[in-house]
Amino acid sequence: MSVTPNDRKPTIQTDSMTLHISPPEFMDTPWPTPRLGTSFDPFSRDYNRSDIFGINANSYLSTYSLHNTYPTMGTHIQVGAIYTYAPNERWEFSGGLFSAKYTMPSFKHGARNDFGFSGSAAYRINNFLRIRAFGEYSVNGERNVSQGYLTPIYPQSGYGMILEIKFNDYIELHGGMERSYNPMKRKWETAPVIYPVIKLKR
């Protein structure tokens, strides 16, 4: 799983004194088997939450917590925090940690754990162009995948560079290259990255 480049620095309330962090919600798994004639929503416990806390005019802390269910396969629980510092209008630096748990009732190895860190550095060339380098390191990603089959949900080590093009206050286009480890082929691969960014609120 690649690092998603941070968006523009949000407006920060510098007089905030309360730190709001969404705690992880670890659930008992596997889910109970529904009885004949009853129904059970396998996604009823899924969630994806995030919070942001302004530290001062130039920095903020963002946190996230998620729980995803893969029917008949298991669950993916992940929490993380990222600190962002922008000393001026040109530069922006980010770094953070994450922890994940994969519960696979149908897999003989059972629950697997992972943790790692990510970071990025961005430089604004002008009002319409910004370049960003990013990277992520997963401590157990390769080992987990070698003993399981839920490859798409595992965070993996990787790095890359993105050019962010701003057309107006609402539409941006981000594109570049990313090099990441493919645990199924057991080798590093380079792939293009391109995606639009649409801002509905300002």
In a domain, 144, yes or no: yes
Task: Note the pLDDT of residue 149.
Answer: 54
Task: Note the pLDDT of residue 1.
Answer: 46
Residue 161 burial class via C-beta count within 10 angstroms: exposed 0-12, middle 13-18, buried 19 and up: middle
In a domain, 7, yes or no: no
What does DSSP assign to residue 89? S
Task: Note the pLDDT of residue 15.
Answer: 46
pLDDT bin (cut points 50, 70, 90) of residue 60 is: very high
Task: Note the pLDDT of residue 146.
Answer: 63
Q: Considering its fold, how many domains does the chain have in total?
A: 1
| Number of continuous H segments (helices) and E segments (strands) in the chain | 1, 9
Task: Note the pLDDT of residue 17.
Answer: 47
Return the bridge partners of 149, or none.
Answer: none
Residue 164 burial class via C-beta count within 10 angstroms: exposed 0-12, middle 13-18, buried 19 and up: buried
- The C-alpha atoms of residue 103 and residue 23 are separated, in whole angstroms, by 19
CATH of the domain at 169: 2.40.160.60
116, 137 contact by CB (below 8 A): yes
Task: Note the pLDDT of residue 112.
Answer: 78
DSSP strand pairing (91-103 vs 112-124): antiparallel
Helix (H) or strand (E) holding 145: helix 141-146
Q: What is the mean pLDDT of residues 119-137?
A: 95
In a domain, 29, yes or no: no
- Segments forming the whole domain that contains residue 135: 47-198
Is residue 62 pLDDT above 90, yes or no? yes
